[in-house]
Amino acid sequence: MPEPVEAPRLLPPATRFILQCGKDARDAAGRGFGLALPEAACRAESAGGRAALWLGPDERLLLAPAGLEDVLAGELEAALGGLPHSLVDVSHRQAALAVAGPAARELLSHGCPLDLDDAVFPVGMCTRTVLGRAEVVLWRSRPEEYHLETGRSFASYVLGWLREAEQGG
């Protein structure tokens, strides 16, 4: 297998929120977040260092640079006003990893049951799945780059699994 351009790696800490709500609250949250939240199933939107990933019909994962937990919570709560919603800070629950390069898709395919072909899993697509034996959120953020979110306690397992698979193990 050709070597990926970059070795699989842990990404820096980030601010993360799980937002569960209906359409009106989603629209308001998008204004507060500074990014329209995706309406299409299994799609992500990103700009300006922030991203919103569709995890379910009424659930979005919001990502922003580390250290913005309090600021972002305040902005979102102000935007959401009295609209019914659930906003949970999961910044310390999860860790992120990146797999990038021409062989990224092939590497992930060793342990992910999804078809990651361009026609089926294009740039901007995201979903919950498994990699090896760990649950992950997989987001194709660029043509040759995948962003994985997993439970912090699984991060070293996922990173080790990726490195072993990269070596052909």
29 and 81 assigned to the same domain: yes
The answer to the question of residue 1 being in a domain is no
| pLDDT per position as a tens digit, 62-77 | 999 999 999 999 999 9
Asked if pLDDT for residue 5 goes beyond 90, the answer is no
Confidence of residue 152 (pLDDT cuts 50, 70, 90): very high
Confidence of residue 100 (pLDDT cuts 50, 70, 90): very high
- Three-state DSSP string of 6-56: EEEEECCCEEEEEEEECHHHHHHHHHHHCCCCCCCCCEEEEECCEEEEEEE
| pLDDT per position as a tens digit, 18-76 | 999 999 999 999 999 999 999 999 999 999 999 999 999 999 999 999 999 999 999 99
Q: Which of 142, 106, 110 is nearest to 124 (CA)?
A: 142
Q: Starting at the edge strand that comes first in sequence, how are the strands of the sheet with 94-100 ordered?
A: 6-10, 94-100, 145-151, 134-142, 126-131
The total of structural domains in the chain comes to: 2
- At 60, which CATH number? 3.30.70.1520
58 and 97 assigned to the same domain: no
The answer to the question of residue 50 being in a domain is yes
7/77 Cα distance (integer angstroms): 38
Domain boundaries, position 27: 14-89
The answer to the question of residue 62 being in a domain is yes
pTM: 0.94
